[in-house]
Amino acid sequence: MTQHALSFPAVALATSLFPDPETCWHAVQRRDRGYNGRFWFSVRTTGVYCLPSCAARPPLRRNVDFHASPEAAEAAGFRACKRCKPRDWQAGVGLSRPVARACALFDAGDADAPPSLTEVARKVGLSSGALGKRFLAELGVAPRDWLVARKRERFRSALRGGASVADAIYGAGYGSPSRVYENSDKALGMTPATYAKGGAGAHIDYTTVDSDYGRVLVAATEKGIAAVFLGDDDRALEKDLKRDFPAAEIQRNDDVLGPRVRGVLSRLYGRKPSALDAPDVPLDILGTAFQWKVWKALTEIPAGETRTYGEIARRIGEPKSARAVGRACATNQAAVVIPCHRAVGSSGALTGYRWGVARKERLLAEERRRSSR
């Protein structure tokens, strides 16, 4: 595990409940791509229905209705917009049809010689430039980086399945073993031989402490903090740690982690500001370049304040990547150190939080109270 290692960007996403009308309208006004697949809106004066991110001229609120599906919009008498192609969005995987199909085409290709971006783009009916922009908007990475991540994932999967290091290297599409060993920290967080042995030699110490927000689990390698989890039960937190790091040797060690715990609690109680490079909370976590941009932006939000996924996307120079920002927040494994509790939905609502929305609400309330002193 090392900073800036590129992990495979998940494609499948769970869809959320149908938002309330006010939230829907705000999303339409902002052309918020993060709400694509959560609702569709129709315009009575034009007779069409669209995705929230549609780039067409904004309608008047009095002419707009909201629908839970394309079928519902069509049953109400509306036809699909030819500009945003709302039927192309596949809510079940959180991607547009062209991007979902492109991912499948890349995966189906020869690992040693994957199809070119131009070839795949032609098959999904887009130019290579347009497909690249959609990858960035929907997955947070360019097609080239996505392919690199998939190669690493194939390599990991082969090793976990019992393949020899050599078979895993060539089966994943690497041209030579040297390429893998040179970048083993990025691909695995350890050498290939160690990973193939189930993580033997990769060691994580952890401890749990009490706090005003429940139990806190802090886990670290010799390089830095690998996880900070919040919860109510030590056993559940330990189970989550083992699930997230199945290949590592995990051991409780209350004594050695004292300085790390103090650093985490200093952020929890607002005694020190959030930062990715603070010497008392060095991080050893996996993330794509896009995720690290999001996580850094989160640490720059003042304590007690919040930013929407769309605002964070604009902050990092990726204005159409609100949904990918949401995924980056959801994959944060270092609660409080990386303050993903400061990210909210487009309406300002406290959206899902791995460690509970009630805990998120309390964290923000306490930050605001301290800031007002």
Identify the sign of the CA torsion 130, 131, 136, 139.
positive
Assess whether pLDDT exceeds 90 at residue 50: yes
What pTM value is reported for the model? Answer: 0.51
Which of the following is catalytic: 81, 84, 329, 340?
340
Assess whether pLDDT exceeds 90 at residue 60: yes
Q: Tell me which of 293 and 138 has the higher pLDDT.
A: 293
Q: Which tens digits make up the pLDDT trace of 218-239?
A: 999 887 888 999 999 999 999 9
Q: Which tens digits make up the pLDDT trace of 73-129?
A: 998 899 999 888 888 776 555 677 788 888 888 777 655 566 788 988 998 888 988
Known catalytic residue at 50: yes
> Residue 224 has what pLDDT?
84
Q: Tell me which of 201 and 314 has the higher pLDDT.
A: 314
Stretch 284-295: mean pLDDT: 78
In this structure, are residues 323 and 94 in contact, taking their beta carbons and an 8 Å threshold? yes
Which of the following is catalytic: 50, 54, 81, 329?
50
**Parallel, antiparallel or unpaired: strands 89-90 and 214-220:** unpaired
Q: Which tens digits make up the pLDDT trace of 135-169?
A: 876 666 678 777 776 666 665 555 555 545 455 44
Mean pLDDT taken over the chain: 78
> Residue 15 has what pLDDT?
36
In this structure, are residues 135 and 99 in contact, taking their beta carbons and an 8 Å threshold? yes
Rg (CA), the chain: 22
